[in-house]
Amino acid sequence: MTLAQRAFERLHAWPDLSAGPASCRTGRALRSVRDEIVHFHSDRDVDLHLTHRAIQRFQYDLGGSTAIRLVPGSRWVTVHLDCDADVDLLLSLTSIALKAHQSRPPADLTAGLSGPSGPAGCNYHRVTVLPRSAAGEA
């Protein structure tokens, strides 16, 4: 079982998340009543939908993680699953994402909703993740 499969199974058991196809048409998604929260694109790459406020709040911590890739202007973060700790990180961030989406002001509901390829779209094809061993070499 891959790390992404393990993470998907653990998150799919959460009562606030239901499974379906990803709106970007690549992989599977888990969604809350209001929004898609997680896209599983491959055996190792997952996009997580945070709010702008949550990304701002945790930007320093997110940027310091070798498992996280941020795309300027995107409300999605890419999590590269390389080990069990990355799965735990994804689960923690998913909990933050669910809380952020539940408490999001009504004005944020329609902000940036121009479809999977627009500002609200996930980071699929917008992020290149290098293996950790190659990331430090250059």
Please tell me whether residue 46 adopts helix, strand or coil conformation: strand
pLDDT, position 110:
44
pLDDT, position 34:
87
Residues 17-66 have pLDDT tens digits of 999 999 999 999 999 988 999 999 999 999 999 988 899 999 888 888 99
For the ranges 6-15, 31-40, 117-126, which has the lowest average pLDDT?
A: 117-126
Q: Where are the domains of the chain?
A: 3-103
Cα separations (Å) of 58 from 20, 26, 127, 134? 28, 27, 19, 26
Which CATH architecture group holds 3-103? Alpha-Beta Complex (3.90)
Give pTM, 2 decimals: 0.80
